[in-house]
Structure 1
C-alpha cells in the first residue's frame, strides 16, 4: 500500500467520523470506497457548506 493511500485513509477517517455523526442524526445515506466519500444531503446548502468548512 503506497504511503499516500495510508495518509488519505488517516485524513478521511477523522473527517468521516464527524460526518457520520451528523448523517446518522439526519437519517441520510453515506458510503465510502477507498479514498472516495459518497453521501446524500437533504438539508440546506448553507448547512452543508458549514459542515464542509468545519
Structure 2
C-alpha cells in the first residue's frame, strides 16, 4: 500500500478495507438480510467493486 505517498487516499483505503470486512461477513452469513444493514452493505459492495479489484 502506498498510503505514505498518497495520504489523500488513506480514507478511501480505509473504506475499502471496511467494505471487504462487511463483504466477508455477508459471504459467511446465511443471508445478507440477516446482517444489520445487509442490503445497504450489498449496495456499497456493488459500488465499491468498481474501485476494489
Q: TM-score range by the shorter chain?
A: 0.3 to 0.5
Quick one: higher RCO (CA 8 Å, sep 6+), 1 or 2?
A: 2
Structure number with higher strand proportion: 1
Structure number with higher helix proportion: 2
